């Protein structure tokens, strides 16, 4: 930083957590690192040695708050502040850390809240696939804000997560078309869970074939046309797959189309929902249900106190789904078994 850049000093990540306020000039020659903490609109600045820079604001804090701020300051300076990964009774009383688990997420538009929540649950390893760039239109239903515009979605979500978590994450990212990717199969093979949050039926079938072949548990999540509700399906190897679901509930027309297609990615379906209307708050409901189902799979065979939720197929009505569920905030749930004539998982 040059000497004349003294008007604004930004610590990546911290601007997002407080109430915005007017920044005070800092001389970087005297203070190499500054943390700018805003509390109830009144700020205090603390240097990396834990020294309160603006004594005037000290009166806004009690001794415990000052001590906490100084600890934050020191931890930031040491690059050792990892809020999602440190021991935390509020989470750890329910479930053990999931630091060793790797979760692959395909689709980081509508599905972006899922790795954000999983990271808060202690998952430290992710693999992201999405070939799109974050555009202005995405922001009304995406965790990333305007500073991530025009980044590939895989980069945007990676950077966002690393900032929120204090960098302690291992993320592999591929801005690639899954139908031609040379990395997809190998990355899914080393994952403990696959999340499919894409917006086309062809991509769901394609990823289902791979996850069945490789024996990787998979969660499919999608919003219905118009954002009135959505569907979550949790597929566990040996217990049925996304194609079994299609067989059981009468989606055979697309199965026939998909089987005949030579270019699977070109198969279109009435269930494709690219760029459809829908609010982030409603999409968030579906993502949070999907995340909760993901935890049920990741915690299997672990000692934990988090009760499992729901059946393996959940249709959730947010504001009433035409011809399916007229009531709002309710669901249809079934445990979908393996289908005897499933083309994908039938042996």
Distance of closest approach, residue 236 Cβ to Zn ion, in angstroms? 11
- H or E, element range at 115: helix 113-120
Distance of closest approach, residue 244 Cβ to Zn ion, in angstroms? 3
Stretch near Zn ion under the rule CB under 5 A, chosen from 22-30, 104-112, 144-152, 242-250: 242-250
Q: How far is CA 165 from CA 46, 107, 117, 239, in A?
A: 21, 21, 11, 35
Look at the block and give the residue holding tokens 């026939």: 256
Distance of closest approach, residue 240 Cβ to Zn ion, in angstroms? 5
- H or E, element range at 125: strand 125-129
Q: Contact between 246 and Zn ion (CB under 5 A)?
A: no
Identify residues 17-46 at the interface with Zn ion (CB under 5 A): none
Give the nearer residue to Zn ion in terms of CB position, either 174 or 258: 258
Give the nearer residue to Zn ion in terms of CB position, either 239 or 272: 239
Stretch near Zn ion under the rule CB under 5 A, chosen from 94-102, 144-152, 243-251, 302-310: 243-251
Give the nearer residue to Zn ion in terms of CB position, either 287 or 345: 345
Stretch near Zn ion under the rule CB under 5 A, chosen from 114-122, 123-131, 261-269, 337-345: 337-345
Q: Contact between 244 and Zn ion (CB under 5 A)?
A: yes
Give the nearer residue to Zn ion in terms of CB position, either 244 or 299: 244
Question: Which one of residues 241, 289, 295, 315 is an interface residue with Zn ion (CB under 5 A)?
Answer: 241
Contact 35, 50 (CB under 8 A): no
Stretch near Zn ion under the rule CB under 5 A, chosen from 126-134, 151-159, 241-249, 328-336: 241-249
Give the nearer residue to Zn ion in terms of CB position, either 65 or 257: 257
CB burial readout 132-160, b (16+ within 10 A) else e: ebbeeebeebbbbeeebeebbbbbbbbbb
Q: Contact between 218 and Zn ion (CB under 5 A)?
A: no
Q: Which residues pair with 235 in a beta bridge?
A: 218
Distance CA 341, CA 234 (A): 19
- First and final CA of the chain: distance in angstroms? 63
Give the nearer residue to Zn ion in terms of CB position, either 64 or 347: 347
Contact 321, 146 (CB under 8 A): no
Distance of closest approach, residue 179 Cβ to Zn ion, in angstroms? 20
Contact 151, 175 (CB under 8 A): no
Distance of closest approach, residue 233 Cβ to Zn ion, in angstroms? 11
Tally of residues, the chain: 347
Q: Contact between 245 and Zn ion (CB under 5 A)?
A: no
- Supply the angle between the helices 201-214 and 252-260 in degrees, to the nearest 10: 80
Q: Contact between 342 and Zn ion (CB under 5 A)?
A: yes
The residue ranges that bind Zn ion (CB under 5 A) are 241, 243-244, 342, 344-345
């Amino acid at each position: 930083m040059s000497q004349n850049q003294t008007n604004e000093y930004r610590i990546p990540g911290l601007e997002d957590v407080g109430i915005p306020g007017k920044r005070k000039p800092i001389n970087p020659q005297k203070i190499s690192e500054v943390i700018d903490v805003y509390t109830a609109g009144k700020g205090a600045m603390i240097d990396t040695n834990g020294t309160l820079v603006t004594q005037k604001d000290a009166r806004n804090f009690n001794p415990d708050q000052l001590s906490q701020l100084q600890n934050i300051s020191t931890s930031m300076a040491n690059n050792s502040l990892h809020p999602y990964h440190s021991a935390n009774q509020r989470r750890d009383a329910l479930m053990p850390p999931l630091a060793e688990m790797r979760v692959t997420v395909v689709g980081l538009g509508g599905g972006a809240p899922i790795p954000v929540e999983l990271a808060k649950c202690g998952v430290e390893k992710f693999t992201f696939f999405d070939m799109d760039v974050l555009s202005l239109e995405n922001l009304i239903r995406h965790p990333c804000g305007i500073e991530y515009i025009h980044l590939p979605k895989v980069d945007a979500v990676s950077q966002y997560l690393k900032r929120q978590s204090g960098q302690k994450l291992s993320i592999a990212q591929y801005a690639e078309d899954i139908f031609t990717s040379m990395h997809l199969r190998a990355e899914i093979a080393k994952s403990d869970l696959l999340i499919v949050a894409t917006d086309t039926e062809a991509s769901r079938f394609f990823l289902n074939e791979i996850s069945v072949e490789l024996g990787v548990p998979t969660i499919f999540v999608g919003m219905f046309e118009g954002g009135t509700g959505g569907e979550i399906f949790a597929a566990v190897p040996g217990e049925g797959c996304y194609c079994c679901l299609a067989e059981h509930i009468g989606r055979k027309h697309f199965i026939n189309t998909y089987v005949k297609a030579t270019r699977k990615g070109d198969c279109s379906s009435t269930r494709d929902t690219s760029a459809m209307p829908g609010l982030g708050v409603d999409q968030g409901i579906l993502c949070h249900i999907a995340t909760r189902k993901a935890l049920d799979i990741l915690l299997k065979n672990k000692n934990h106190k988090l009760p499992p939720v729901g059946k393996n197929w959940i249709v959730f009505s947010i504001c009433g789904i035409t011809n399916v569920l007229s009531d709002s905030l309710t669901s249809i749930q079934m445990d979908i078994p393996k289908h005897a004539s499933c083309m994908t998982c039938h042996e």
